[in-house]
Amino acid sequence: MDIAQILLFASLLLPLRASAGDYENSNAGGGDTIVFTTLGRSRYEFDIFALSTSHPPSISGELRITDGESVNFNGYFPSPSPALISLLPDESLIQPEDSSPLHLIYVTERNGTSSIYYDLIYRGDSDSKSKRRSMLETTSRVQVPLLSNANRRSGTTVNSFKDKPSLSGEFLVYVSTHENSGEPRTSWTAVYSTELRTGLTRRLTPRGVADFSPAVSPSGNWTAVASYGERGWTGEVAELSTDIYVFLTRDGTHRVKVVEHGGWPCWVDDSTLYFHRRSDDGWISVYRAILPENGRLTTKSVTIQRVTPPGLHAFTPATSPNNHDFIAVATRRPGIDYRHVELFDLKRNEFIELTRLVAPKSHHLNPFLSPDSSTVGYHSCRGEANGRRSPLLFLENMQTTKTDLSLFRIDGSFPSFSPSGDRIAYVKMPGVYVVKPDGSDQREVYSGMAFSTAWDPVRPGTVYTSSGPTFATERTEVDIISIDVDAADKSSSVRRLTTNGKNNAFPWPSPDGKWIVFRSGRSGHKNLYLMDAEKGEAGGLRRLTEGEWSDTMSSWSPDGEWIAFASDRERPGSGSFELFLIHPNGTGLRKLIQSGSGGRTNHPIFSPDSKSLVFTSDYAGISAEPISNPHHFQPYGDIFTVKLDGSGLRRLTHNSYEDGTPAWAPRFIDPRDVLLRRKNDSSCAFDDCHWLNKSPTLKGQKISC
Ligand SMILES: *[C@@H]1O[C@H](CO)[C@@H](O)[C@H](O)[C@H]1NC(C)=O
Ligand SMILES: *[C@@H]1O[C@H](CO)[C@@H](O)[C@H](O)[C@H]1NC(C)=O
Ligand SMILES: *[C@@H]1O[C@H](CO)[C@@H](O)[C@H](O)[C@H]1NC(C)=O
Ligand SMILES: *[C@@H]1O[C@H](CO)[C@@H](O)[C@H](O)[C@H]1NC(C)=O
C-alpha cells in the first residue's frame, strides 16, 4: 500500500461544532508552528503548456508558458482588455509591431498559497524539430500578480484557495475560499469578481451556496457555474452531483438553474454551453445546452444534446467564442493510462488526438482555448528540465495571514516533535525517519512498515510508532514499538511493547513518561487502552474506553489532563469520525468537535500549552471538482485549530488537496531558518482518478490502469 492510500484512509477515519462567529478569533498565540502532510503533493509539479490546434501536432510546437516555479494550473487565455493592459508595468510592452505576445491568466501556488497571475509571454524560437520538449523556453515574460500577497487591493485575505480565473472586460472572475461558509462540512468555494483597476471585489455566489468551475460568456454578460445550490455537498469524492446555474456576471443576479446534473461549463456564444456529466451508459461525456434566445430561462426551456460518444471518458470541455467547429476536452481512453487533451470535431463527430502524440506518458489536464481557437493550453508535469528549479521542498513554508504562525508542509506523514523541538520524526511508507527542523540530518531509524510517531517526553531519543499495515482489521497484527533513534546499533534499537497479535496503534506517552495510551482491536473493536511505557502490556493494561465502535488516533495533552481521540461511536462503522476528550482516569468524556452530519475529523494533537488542538477535517468541504484535480483519493481535508472548550475554530489550509496528520511544534520555527532543501528528483508520478479507470461498457473485462 502506498502513502496515497494510507492517507486516504487516515482521513476516512477523519468530524465539528463551532459557531461561525468564533472563527476569526485565532487561538494560535504568539510563535506557533504547525507542520502537516499533504497527500501526494510531492508527486507532481505542474506547468502550463500551449500547443497549436492544427493537426498533426508538432512536438516542437509545444511551448511551456509558465515559469517553472511552483505549481501552475487552470489557465485562461484572455482577450486583453484595456484594464488588463493597464496593469503592465509599461504599456509599451505590447507594441503592435511586437511578435504578438501570448497573454495568460492562471492559478499558481507560490509559497504554499494560491494566487492568480497574469503573464505576458514572448515566444522563443521553436522552429527546430530537433529541440526537445524541455528546451522549448519562452524568451521572456512580464509577470503581474493579480490576486496575491503582493497585490492586496482586492482586500481578500491571503491564505485562501483561488481557482479557475477568467476575464470579463474590466473584471477578473474567479473562485475563492476566503469567506467561511459558516456551516460545518460546507464548501467555502464561491465565485467573486474583482475590478482590475480598483481592486473592488464583489461576491457573485449567494451566501450559503458553493459554486465551482465558473466560466464567463463571450459577451461577458453571463457566468455559468457548477453548484449544488442549497443542497450542499454530501461527501462525494468522485463525480459531483452538481447542477449548472447561470447568473449575471455584473452582480450575480438573475441566477437560474439551467442544467440538472453537470459540471465544468463553458460557452461558445451567449446561448450555447458545453459541460460534462456521467451518462446513463456510465461514460463521462460532454454535453451541449442550448438556452432559449427569448422567453423565460428555466431547466425546461433548455435543450440538451450529448456531444461525445460512449467508449471513452471525455470531460473538462473548453470552447472558444463562436467556434462551432470544435471543442477541446480531456479524455481517458480504455487501455490508456494517461489523461490526454484532444479536440472534438463537432461537424464530423470525431476526436482529434493532440497531446498523446506529443507526450504519451504524461497526464494533461483542464484544456483551455485561445479566443481565436489557434492554441490550446493545459497543465502537465513539468518534466525533466534543464536547470528548472523543482518547487518540491522537504519543509515548505506556507504563507499565512498571521506573522506569528509558521505553517509547514512536510514531505512525509505523521510528523511529531522531540520534547525540545530540535528534531522531527516522520513516516515514509515504509520507514520511520528523523530530521532536524531546518531540514538537515535526515536519517532512517526504522525500515519496516509503520505509521504514527510520538516522542517520549523523558527518555531521550525514544520514538513510539505502530509497526504493521495501516487500515487493517481489528485482528491484524500491528504492534506498538519504541525506537531508540540514537542507538549505534540498529538491530537493538527497537523494543516491542505489545505482542498480542491484534491491531495496536497510535501510541502516545503521558507527559511523565509512565504510561502509553494507544488504540487496540483486541476486544474485536478498536478502543483505547493504557499500558506501562517501560514494560509494555506485560507491565499491566488498563482499558480507557469500551464500546462496539472505533476509538483511535489518541494523543495526550502536555499538562497530562486530557487524552484526545477520534471516534465513530455516534454512528459506528459509518466512516464518520468526531473528536472527543477524556481524562486519563476515564472521567470527563466529552465531544469536542463534529463536522456536520457524516463528517470526518481526525488526528487531534495538542498545542504545547495544552489549550488547543490541531486536527484535520472535512469541515470546509471540497474546493474544486475532483475530476479537474490531480489524483486525490478524497479531495478534502484541511488543517484546523480549536480551543479545548470548542471555541476559536480556525482554518489554516486552503487548497483542493487532502491535508492531514498535523503536529504542533513545542517551539517556534522561523521559516528563515529552514533550509530550502529541494528534493533531488523532479519526477512527476501520480495516477489519474481511480474512478476514471473503469470502463463501464466493457462488462467483465478489466481495463488495466
Ligand atoms: C516565497 O517567500 C520567500 C520568503 O518570503 C520569498 O523570498 C520568495 O520570493 C517567495 N517566492 C515566491 C515564488 O513568491
Ligand atoms: C450584454 O449586455 C449588454 C448590456 O446589457 C447588451 O447591450 C448586450 O446586447 C448583451 N450581449 C449579449 C450577447 O447578450
Ligand atoms: C480524574 O481526573 C481529573 C483530571 O485530572 C480530575 O479532575 C478528577 O478529579 C479525577 N477523577 C477521579 C474520580 O479521580
Ligand atoms: C542529486 O542529483 C545529482 C545529479 O543527479 C547527484 O549528483 C547528487 O548526488 C544527488 N544528491 C543527493 C543528495 O542525492
pLDDT for the residue 27: 35
Ligand 2 binding pocket mutation candidate from 168, 170, 217, 219 (most atoms within 8 A of CB): 219
Q: Is 517 helix (H, G, I), strand (E, B) or coil?
A: strand
Interior/surface letters 108-131, b for 16+ CB within 10 angstroms, e for the rest: bbbebbbbbbbbbbbbeebeeeeb
In angstroms, what CA-CA distances link 602 with 179, 240, 592, 654, 690? 23, 24, 12, 17, 24
State the Cα–Cα distance between residues 176 and 655, nearest whole angstrom.
Answer: 10
Nearest CA, atom 11, ligand 2:
219
Q: H or E segment at 150?
A: none
Closest ligand 2 atom, CA of 217? 13
Residue partners of 173: CB distance under 8 A and separation at least 6: 165, 166, 167, 191, 192, 193, 204, 214, 216, 223, 249
Please give the share of the chain, as a percent, with pLDDT higher than 70. 87
Phi and psi angles of residue 299, each rounded to the nearest 5 degrees, phi first: -60, -30
Q: Are strands 494-496 and 432-435 parallel, antiparallel or unpaired?
A: unpaired
* Average pLDDT estimate for 82-101: 75
Could you tell me which residue, 392 or 286, shows the higher pLDDT? 286
Reading the block at residue 688, the C-alpha cell is: 489519474
β-strand pairing of 405-410 with 32-38: parallel
Q: Which ligand is nearest to the CA of 406?
A: 1
- The C-alpha atoms of residue 669 and residue 30 are separated, in whole angstroms, by 12
Q: What is the pLDDT of residue 695?
A: 75
Q: Is 91 helix (H, G, I), strand (E, B) or coil?
A: helix
Residue 132, pLDDT > 50, answer no
Q: End-to-end CA distance of the chain: give it in Å, rounded.
A: 16
Contact (Cβ atoms closer than 8 angstroms) between residue 16 and residue 596: yes
Specify whether the CB–CB gap between 272 and 266 falls below 8 A.
no
C-alpha cell of residue 388: 528548472
Q: Write the single-letter amino acid at 300.
A: K
pLDDT value of position 110: 85
| Nearest by Cα to 28 from 691, 632, 689, 614 | 614
Ligand 3 pocket check for 587: Cβ under 6 Å? yes
pLDDT at 376: 97
Per-residue pLDDT at 18: 30
Residues 6+ apart with CB under 8 A from 100: none
pLDDT band at 399 (very low <50, low <70, confident <90, very high): confident
Single-letter amino acid code for the residue at 161: F
Q: CA–CA distance from 66 to each of 93, 122, 196, 544 (Å)?
A: 18, 11, 21, 55
Distance 84 CA to ligand 2 centre (A): 21
The confidence score (pLDDT) of residue 127 equals 44
Q: Quick one: cell of 90?
A: 509599461
Q: Where are the beta strands (DSSP E) in 221-280?
A: 222-227, 243-248, 256-259, 263-269, 272-278
Pocket test for ligand 3, best of 562, 587, 589, 590 (most atoms within 8 A of CB): 587
Give me the residue label for grid cell 502532510: 37
Residue 148 alpha carbon, nearest atom of ligand 1: 14
The C-alpha cell 476566503 sits at: 178
Amino acid identity at 478: V
Poorest-confidence range of 307-321, 602-616, 681-695? 681-695
| DSSP annotation of 411 | S
**The pLDDT of residue 19 is above 60:** no
- In this structure, the dihedral spanned by the alpha carbons of residues 25, 552, 557 and 411, taken in order and rounded to 10 degrees, is -70
| Residue 587 alpha carbon to ligand 3 centre in Å | 6
Q: What is the Cα–Cα distance from 552 to 503, expressed in whole angstroms?
A: 11
421 within 8 A of 667, measured Cβ to Cβ = yes
672 CA closest ligand 1 atom index: 4
User: In DSSP terms, which residues pair with 37 in a beta bridge?
Assistant: 410, 660
233 or 34, which is more confident: 34
Say how many Å lie between the CA of residue 555 and the centre of ligand 4: 38
Task: Summarize pLDDT for 636-645 with one digit per residue, the tens.
Answer: 999 999 999 9
Q: CB-based contacts of 576: which residues, under 8 Å, 6+ apart?
A: 15, 568, 570, 597, 598, 599, 600
CATH superfamily of the domain spanning 3-41+391-691 = TolB, C-terminal domain (2.120.10.30)
Choose which residue among 110, 399, 408 to substitute to test ligand 1 binding: the one with the highest number of ligand atoms within 8 A of its C-beta.
110
C-alpha cell of 643?
480551543
Report residue 256 as a C-alpha cell. 437560474
- Total count of residues recorded for the chain: 705
Ligand 2 atom closest to Cα of residue 220? 1
Give the closest residue (by CA) to ligand 1 atom 9: 111
> Which of 583, 589, 610, 644, when mutated, tests ligand 3's pocket best, judged by the most ligand atoms within 8 Å of its CB?
583
Prior bond to 334 cis, omega within 30? no
What is the grid cell recorded at 208? 450559503
The per-residue pLDDT for range 649-702, each reduced to its tens digit, is 999 999 999 999 999 999 999 888 887 666 655 567 788 888 888 777 554 443
pLDDT score of 633: 75
CA separation (Å) from 222 to 22, 195, 244, 573?
A: 36, 16, 13, 45
CATH 2.120.10.30 domain range(s) in the chain: 3-41+391-691
Residue 410 and residue 414: Cα distance in Å, rounded? 9
CA distance 376 to 84: 21
E strand or H helix at 109: strand 102-110
Rounded to whole angstroms, the Cα distance separating 479 from 476 reads 10
How many CB atoms sit inside 10 A of residue 258's CB?
24
Q: Among 189-203, 292-306, 308-322, 536-550, which stretch is predicted with the lowest mean pLDDT? A: 292-306
For residue range 486-531, what is the model confidence (pLDDT) as tens digits? 998 877 899 999 988 789 999 999 999 999 999 999 999 999 999 9
Stretch 469-486: mean pLDDT: 89
With a 6 Å cutoff on the Cβ, whether 149 touches ligand 1 is no
* Ligand 3 atom 9: residue of nearest CA: 587
Other CB atoms within a 10 A radius of the CB of residue 335 amount to 11
Residue 61 phi/psi, 5° resolution?
-85, -10
Check: CB of residue 327 under 8 Å from CB of residue 312. Answer: no
Of 10-14, 226-230, 570-574, which range is least confident?
A: 10-14
Asked if 442 and 435 touch (Cβ cutoff 8 Å), the reply is yes
C-alpha separations of 432 from 9, 123, 418, 450, 485 in Å: 19, 47, 14, 7, 10
Contact between residue 242 and residue 212 where contact means Cβ atoms under 8 Å apart: yes
User: Quick one: DSSP state of residue 197?
Assistant: T
DSSP string spanning 332-384? E-TT--S-EEEEEETTTTEEEE-HHHH-TTS-EEEEEE-TTSSEEEEEEE--S
In whole angstroms, what is the distance from residue 704 CA to residue 658 CA? Answer: 25
**pTM for this predicted structure:** 0.90
Q: Are strands 263-269 and 659-664 parallel, antiparallel or unpaired?
A: unpaired
CA distance 499 to 507: 14
DSSP state of 591: E
Cα(216) to ligand 2 centroid in Å equals 13
Confidence of residue 278 (pLDDT cuts 50, 70, 90): very high
Which three cell numbers, joined as nine digits, stand for 137?
A: 523556453
Cα gap 336→341, rounded to integer Å: 13
How far away, in angstroms, is 143 Cα from ligand 1 center?
A: 15
Cβ of 585 closer than 6 Å to ligand 3, yes or no, is yes
For ligand 1, atom 2: residue with the closest CA: 111
Taking alpha carbons only, the member of 231, 232, 227, 230 closest to residue 243 is 227
502: which 3 cell numbers?
491484534
Ligand 3 centroid from CA 585, angstroms:
6
* Ramachandran class of 122: left when φ > 0, alpha when ψ lies in -120 to 50, beta otherwise: beta
Measured in Å, residue 680 CA sits from the centre of ligand 4 at: 6
